[in-house]
Chain A
Amino acid sequence: MKNPLYFVIVFALSLAGSARTIVSAQRSAATPDVTAKAVAAARAFLATLDSRQQAVVVVPLNKDTRVRWSNLPNGAVGIGFQRNGLKLGDLTPAQQQAALDLVGAALSRTGYQKVMNIVNAEEEFARSRPRDNNPARFGRSEYYIAILGTPSPAQPWMIQFGGHHLGINLTVVGKENVLTPSHTGTQPGSYSLNGQTIRPLGKENDKAFALINALDASQRKEAMLNYQVPDGVFGPGHDGEIIQPEGVRASKFTPNQQAMLLDLINEWVSILNDAAASPKMAEIKSRLADTYFAWSGPTTNGSAAYFRIQGPTVEIEYAPNGGTPDHIHTFYRDPTNDYAAKFIKP
């Protein structure tokens, strides 16, 4: 049994190391091939593992393996469910570093920071929760890294990094990098780390409240759902489902309101590396008129409110859990391109 302090130190080192990775990932965004960087980082990570670990962390990429992600903590996900790959708590510091370097190479600087903020929130949650008989396991060491398929500059493969409140599913097909479906969440919604207040999903929250309050009475009336939404509808297990959209269409927005909506959507899209996020945002912008914004709950920031964004190539929902803004689940999908369906022939 490793001392808990060990993980705190390891993660501090990991974060410091990842800062170096982030810098190089940002530089790569200007180059046409971020895939090459992700492939190199994946191969570097695999080189740190022994053969037994490699056999566990590399999983065949198929329709059964790629859907193995969840917002729930390990141990509580249900008998028989096991996340793909290896958990950080079973890796050496050098292996953890290489794993996080891989995640950092595939994501943007802000995306990687968001992921780490969620992981650190989980550690805070694990530290503060009362001891009980719940078999669920919490904390940083419970995040899993997996490589589905073989890292390749041309053939499809996938990176999964996930645990409680996190499901990063990045499919790589040649130069295409696809982040849908993915999940971010947090509990607590806010915490202190090194004297700083961290709100992992604070920008999503604040930009959404700003947008709903920027709508005029008529727009807001259309946006408001007159019913409570006690849970998400785009979560794991709901691949391929497209619900009838609701709310106000962005075609009725002013240019400023449309810019606010795009800025809000960008909080999810820009988790991905800049080179892939930019064309994705352009695609969403080109269909913005057919994109809906729906809201359920109070409109005063600080309240627990649900919102949903649904367009031809984007689905996002932000769902407070248990009626509190201190426990959030969000899901990000593309109904036309989850798991890079557009680029992978069946």
Chain B
Amino acid sequence: MKKALAVVSFIGLLSAFGATASAHRIDEYLQAARLAIGPDRITLEMDLTPGVDVAPLIFALINTNHDGMISEAEARAYASQLLKEIVLDLDGHPQRLSLVRAQFPSFQEMSEGVGTIRIEASAVCASGPGQHVLFYQNNHRNDISVYLVNALLPASRNIEITGQRRDPLQRGIQLSFTVSR
């Protein structure tokens, strides 16, 4: 019973959160990231939507025991591997992202190009008063992926994003921000 509850809490049911996929992808893996800068942590939210042609490949990456179902262990393993392929530096210092939660669609949804994997992770890192630079880059499956990356407007009034620079493919972003106190 305890294990079943853990599975539900970790691998949420996508249907409970409504449809998030926007485009009807075909042969691309859309990886959309949002970064939230807080006083004591950086939060990363990712929506990953494989197109119909690449869904079998992505599902095979996750479903390593080939039983057609995504177990909690498989979900954790895939999310952890994904996070290892994310570069997150604050003022030149690498930050470790910890998985907070993940939601996985079924293979059927993925195979229709509308199944979205949702990952939330965070890095504990206090940014003291002054200017800072946050660098993010996604190196996961760049052979088949297209990317979006955006910074959320900081919830804290003490934090102001003063600049953002992306590469042409949106795999990465450099955010300049100030903390007033």
Q: Which residues in A have some Cβ–Cβ distance to B below 8 Å?
A: 67-72, 76-81, 134-136, 225-233, 235-238, 241-244, 246, 319, 321-322, 329
With A243-B151, A244-B153 known as contacts, the answer to whether A77 contacts B19 (CB < 8 A) is yes
Contact assessment for A322 and B26 in the assembled complex, using a CB-CB cutoff below 8 Å: yes
Interface 0/1 of B15-48, CB less than 8 Å to A: 1111111111010101010100000000000010
Expressed in whole angstroms, the Cα–Cα distance for A319 and B105 within the complex equals 25
Contact assessment for A228 and B169 in the assembled complex, using a CB-CB cutoff below 8 Å: yes
Expressed in whole angstroms, the Cα–Cα distance for A135 and B152 within the complex equals 35
Expressed in whole angstroms, the Cα–Cα distance for A321 and B113 within the complex equals 14
Expressed in whole angstroms, the Cα–Cα distance for A75 and B46 within the complex equals 24
Chain A at the B interface: SS class: loop
With A230-B30, A321-B23 known as contacts, the answer to whether A67 contacts B18 (CB < 8 A) is yes
Partner of A231, one of B30, B114, B168: B30
Tell me how many residues of B have a C-beta within 8 Å of chain A: 40
Expressed in whole angstroms, the Cα–Cα distance for A69 and B22 within the complex equals 11
Contact assessment for A78 and B114 in the assembled complex, using a CB-CB cutoff below 8 Å: yes
Contact assessment for B14 and A78 in the assembled complex, using a CB-CB cutoff below 8 Å: yes
- Chain A residue at smallest Cβ distance from B18: A67
* Residues from chain A with Cβ under 8 Å of B112 in the complex: 76, 78, 134-136
- Identify 28 residue pairs between A and B in the complex whose beta-carbon atoms are under 8 Å apart, listed by A's number: A68-B18, A69-B18, A72-B114, A76-B114, A78-B109, A78-B114, A79-B15, A79-B109, A81-B18, A225-B166, A226-B168, A227-B170, A228-B170, A229-B148, A229-B170, A230-B170, A231-B146, A232-B22, A235-B22, A236-B18, A236-B22, A243-B153, A244-B151, A244-B153, A244-B164, A319-B23, A321-B23, A329-B22
User: At the interface, yes or no: B13 with Cβ under 8 Å from chain A?
Assistant: yes
Expressed in whole angstroms, the Cα–Cα distance for A322 and B52 within the complex equals 14
Greatest chain B CB density within 10 A among A136, A226, A230 is at: A230
Partner of B152, one of A78, A136, A241: A241
